[in-house]
Amino acid sequence: MSDKQTFDEKHNQHQYYEIRLKGHLVDRWTEWFEGLTITLEEDGDTLLTGPVIDQAALHGLLKKVRDLGMPLVSVSPVESEAPTTLGAGQVDQSDIK
């Protein structure tokens, strides 16, 4: 019984991902990626970071990236939760008009 609880708890938690795109994502697309932190890197890449509920949701995000026509550089699961403070180049969703 305790093994089932551990399995359920583990699989009901959101996995955090970092999706790297070549090029900067323009502001008009930020609503499409609601819930993810968007970081515009100095090297010209865009990082989308945040929780993804399951594999189907991850595939949905990747489909959106494909539809944008931006080259996908990498998709990586990350252990830590989303950052609590904004780093250099990060876009605060509340600042986007």
More confident residue, 60 or 5: 60
User: Residue 33 and residue 50: Cα distance in Å, rounded?
Assistant: 10
Under CATH, what is the fold of the domain 11-80? Alpha-Beta Plaits (3.30.70)
Alpha helices, DSSP H only, in 28-81?
A: 55-68
**What's the predicted TM-score (pTM) here?**
0.69
User: Residue 32 and residue 41: Cα distance in Å, rounded?
Assistant: 19
Domain ranges of the chain: 11-80
Say if residue 95's pLDDT is above 50: no
How would residue 4 be classed by pLDDT, with cut points 50, 70 and 90? low
